[in-house]
Amino acid sequence: MKFIQWRMGGKIFLLMALLVLLQPSQHACSQANAPTILVLNSYHPGYIFSDQELQGLKSQLPPETQYFIEYMDAKRISGNDAYTEHLYNIYKLKYANAHFDLIVSFDNDALNFLRQYYNDLFPGTYAGNLVLYQPFES
């Protein structure tokens, strides 16, 4: 599994993201080979913490980058396995024919979801978690 967690304290995440996005892609992108990124956001639009993470990510990547952003709403709906299963089914249907250059998860709920369903939903796609405070433990 090509899954890495980066710490935002350094510029390692952004460097790795740029290296992945700037290499020749094997995927056909709809906007003249613009890189495509799926962002799995643990929270909801308007949650300042993750809004700032998204703003920081976008500020460091090429302007033509296409973003697909999924808000999981974990602050409002937490610990509900049926809800998580519904998200899985929605993403499986929605992204069945999609190809991403990079997948980024914001915070633990998205990271745990990605760890659980990565091989089924997004096999072979580079993925990582953008966090401010927690080192990756394999």
Q: How confident is the model at residue 128 (pLDDT cuts 50, 70, 90)?
A: confident
Is the pLDDT higher at 9 or at 88? 88
| Sequence ranges of the domains in the chain | 3-20+34-131
C-alpha–C-alpha distance, residues 70 and 87, integer Å: 10
Handedness of CA 19, 22, 26, 30 (dihedral sign): positive
Fold assignment, 3-20+34-131: Rossmann fold (3.40.50)
pLDDT confidence of residue 83 = 94
Percent helix, strand and coil across the chain, each rounded to 5? 40, 20, 40
What's the CA dihedral at 58, 68, 97, 100 to 10 degrees? 20
Instruction: Identify residue 69 by its one-letter amino acid code.
Output: I
Mean pLDDT throughout 98-105? 92
User: How do residues 22-77 score in pLDDT, each as one tens digit?
Assistant: 554 444 444 557 899 999 999 999 988 888 888 988 988 899 999 999 999 988 99
Q: How confident is the model at residue 16 (pLDDT cuts 50, 70, 90)?
A: low
